[in-house]
Structure 1
Amino acid sequence: MKNIQVIDGADNSVYDIFQATDEEFSLIFPDGQDVAFIDEVWDRGRAEELGRAFKQIWTRRIPKKDAMGIHGLLFYQLDSKMKYYPTRRDEEAINPDGSLLRQHPL
């Protein structure tokens, strides 16, 4: 199982973590990505498969204290953050000027 943290733009968002199977995770985060924006996920055109996957994922919330790492970030209502993640990989996040957000990426 892989852990996905949901980052929501709502004022009352609590940034829950949910577990996904490897197959479910790869539907949301293809090609080694670990950052996703929900509109892009749905735009890939696999609505039926994604619907089933999300139905299962939403039943697997885990308390943050019990999470053994975060494997992916899923953003809702925060398209303004897309510019920071052009590769959709967290460790490759950049500033608007193109410089790395982290001085020493892993």
Structure 2
Amino acid sequence: MKNIQVIDGAVNSTFDVYEVDDNLFDTLFPNDQDIAFLSDFPDIDNNPTFWSQLYSNKVNKKSIVGIHGTLHLTGSYVEEENFPNRKESDARRR
């Protein structure tokens, strides 16, 4: 199981963390990636099964041991071009 933090553009966002199984995690974050954008996956935006799986196990941020990936939804203020390899360690800094 892996922890994913979800970032959206809501003014009241709490940047929730969800525990997902390895299969779902590997779908969103292949090849050791740890940053993903919803726009990378046009087929899942309207897939209720995906959203049900993602949001089924919200975890208390105070009790987790690490965040393994960050998923940016529509409205996130993070610019995709700053993460060309979809790895936090390769982020373009200004």
For Structure 1 versus Structure 2, the TM-score category normalised by the shorter chain is 0.7 to 0.9
> Which amino acid letter does the alignment assign opposite residue 60 of structure 1?
N
The higher-RCO structure (CA 8 Å, 6+ apart) is 2
TM (norm. structure 2) is: 0.84
Does residue 61 of structure 1 match 2:58? yes
Matched residue count: 91
- In structure 1, the residue matched to 2:19 is 19
Which of these two proteins has the greater Rg computed from alpha carbons? 1
RMSD: 1.7
In the TM superposition, what whole-angstrom CA distance separates every residue of 1:28-60 from its partner, at most 9, and x where no partner exists?
11222110011212x2x4x4xx64343122010
8 Å Cα contact 2:3/2:18 also seen in 1: yes
Q: Which runs of 5+ in 1 are unaligned?
A: 97-106
Q: How does 1:76-95 map to 2 (within 5 A)?
A: 76=73, 77-78=75-76, 80-95=78-93
Q: Where is the helix percentage greater, Structure 1 or Structure 2?
A: 1
Point out 4+ residue stretches in structure 1 off by more than 4 angstroms. none
